[in-house]
Amino acid sequence: MLSLSDELSLKAKLSSFRPFILQHTVILLLLAGSGQTHGAQPPQRIMTLVGEDVVLPCHLEPPLDAVSKSVEWGRPDLEPRFVHVWHEGQDHLVNQNPSYRGRTSVSIDKLRQGDLSLLLSAVKLSDHGLYRCYFPSQDKTFYVELVVGSSRPLKSSDNAEEQGQTQGAQPPLRMVTLVGEDVVLPCRLEPPLDAVSKSVEWARPDLEPRFVHVWHDGQDHLPNQNPSYRGRTSVSIDKLRQGDLSLLLSAVKLSDYGLYRCYFPSQNKTFSVELIVGEW
């Protein structure tokens, strides 16, 4: 596969040729760029929250001074795909995707040690995705999956998933946690209403049975609870009195990763929470 640095070098050499030759060369480069690179590694998952700074790791083994080399960070799903490019001792950001401008950097000191990691600042929800770290000199590719969570309800413009939900549905809230931790999936009525004598249904639409936890007329009602959640879910009576329908999920598993629905039948209201689970 031809990297951006290869393209830059080749274009420089071809600058003295006629325009039609250069045009055909560019077409060939684009075709070659769609191939699979040798040396690809399985992706590493990194989790962060909106507004934070995060380091996307990428290390050469054995370490090699990469300051005078090329390093390409990209996202294959974007156009232009380049997130950050380092080329022969300096940043080369001509083709950088506009959404990353002013938010990316690599460290010269770390590059000297073979650390190609990317610092991404002021993380946005749109940064969520698969990143590719490519080192052309050794034709090595490393992948990092960046999972971005939010501590606030997402606006409708942030997530189109709300379309087609039941009447009264709210945009999903994204929660991030780790295997083995306890996590609270938030769900609150506005204005607050005493829900102790009402019904509350927590479910995952992708499971069968779909019910994660059901509260009905003052008590838990769990005969149809999905077996994978038995003994790990609870709601608080004190909080229900205040209109807080939140679910406590204990000893989180990787299989808990998914979209959860909190349904309050009395008002036909649905709230969605996306739980993202990572490992240490």
Q: What is the pLDDT of residues 73-84, one digit of tens each?
A: 999 999 999 999
Please check whether residues 193 and 272 belong to one and the same domain. yes
Please check whether residues 274 and 169 belong to one and the same domain. yes
Please check whether residues 86 and 114 belong to one and the same domain. yes
What is the rounded average pLDDT for all residues in the chain?
81
- Domain, as residue range, for 258: 163-278
Instruction: Answer whether residue 105 is part of any domain.
Output: yes
Does residue 268 or residue 33 have the better pLDDT? 268
Please check whether residues 58 and 102 belong to one and the same domain. yes
- Cβ–Cβ under 8 Å, residues 54 and 48: yes
Residue 112 has pLDDT above 90, yes or no: yes
Confidence grade of residue 169 (pLDDT, cut at 50, 70, 90): low
Residue 170 phi/psi, 5-degree rounding, is: -110, 155
Q: What is the pLDDT of residues 89-99, one digit of tens each?
A: 999 999 999 99
Please check whether residues 42 and 140 belong to one and the same domain. yes
Residue 159 has pLDDT above 80, yes or no: no
Regarding pTM above 0.75, the answer is no
- How many Å apart are CA 66 and CA 5, to the nearest integer? 13
Please check whether residues 236 and 271 belong to one and the same domain. yes
Instruction: Answer whether residue 99 is part of any domain.
Output: yes
| Strands laid side by side in the 233-234 sheet | 183-185, 247-249, 233-234
Please check whether residues 126 and 215 belong to one and the same domain. no
- Cβ–Cβ under 8 Å, residues 130 and 123: no
Per-residue confidence (pLDDT) for residue 5, from 0 to 100:
54
Please check whether residues 69 and 53 belong to one and the same domain. yes
**First-to-final CA distance of the chain:** 33
Instruction: Answer whether residue 25 is part of any domain.
Output: yes
Place of tokens 């549905």: 169
Please check whether residues 142 and 228 belong to one and the same domain. no
The structural domain count of the chain equals 3
- Cβ–Cβ under 8 Å, residues 236 and 220: no
Residue 49, CA atoms < 13 Å, CB-side half-sphere: 8
Q: Pairing mode, if any, of strands 269-278 and 173-178? A: parallel
**CATH number for the domain including 225?**
2.60.40.10
Per-residue confidence (pLDDT) for residue 4, from 0 to 100:
55
